[in-house]
Structure 1
């Protein structure tokens, strides 16, 4: 089996993309939290308030997940700074596996978060 090869330029590009995406998610989570807080003052029905509270908890959870992703991404960058400046990291199988794992986690977070946003928008449309 051929060893995976990870080019620094590709890794750096992907990591910058992830950082931008995480920054956007953080801003978006703040906006959703504010918007849901506004709705709490408008609605008195227990069922609606419970649903809003559930969405707020999910946003807190997603905030924690993206913080973990960002921390792991930064740790990987610190590790890479200590490595050689070679263009190809051929013998760093652990690094490649770690990067691929981060990629899978980002993809998973993207999908789960997108589903949550769809649910929240549908909820808002129904009760606005």
Structure 2
């Protein structure tokens, strides 16, 4: 049986990529929220306003999730730093398992956000 070594630097690289992606998503949401504010001033139709509220709630939820991911990344980085200080350059099985679970959650969240953006852009096409 061959042993695969996962280096802390590889995990750190992935964390940095995720942080960049999450911060970009946060920036996108600022833009989306600005669009919502514009639309609220243009529309009085109850159905449109309900859809605007739906998107506002979804953006709030997603932004909270982004913050949770950023905190999780920071916590994992501290664990990696602790290992590095001890001279351990590779991740143990439990921490790597946690990293894989986190990766799956990131992928799922990425897909959810992409679907939300598609839905929002379709909405903007109808009402802008």
TM-score normalised by L of structure 2: 0.91
Aligned length: 126
Structure 1's consecutive aligned runs of 4 or more residues displaced over 2 angstroms after TM superposition are 1-5, 84-89
| TM-fit CA distance, 1:110 | 0.4
Query: In structure 1, what is the equivalent of residue 90 of structure 2?
Result: 88
Task: Please provide the CA RMSD for this pair.
Answer: 1.5
- C-alpha distance in structure 1 between counterparts of 2:4 and 2:100, whole Å: 10
- Structure 1's unaligned 5+ residue stretches are none
Residues 1:75 and 2:101 aligned together:
no
- Structure 2's unaligned 5+ residue stretches are none
Query: In structure 1, what is the equivalent of residue 49 of structure 2?
Result: 49
Query: In structure 2, what is the equivalent of residue 34 of structure 1?
Result: 34
| TM-fit CA distance, 1:68 | 0.4
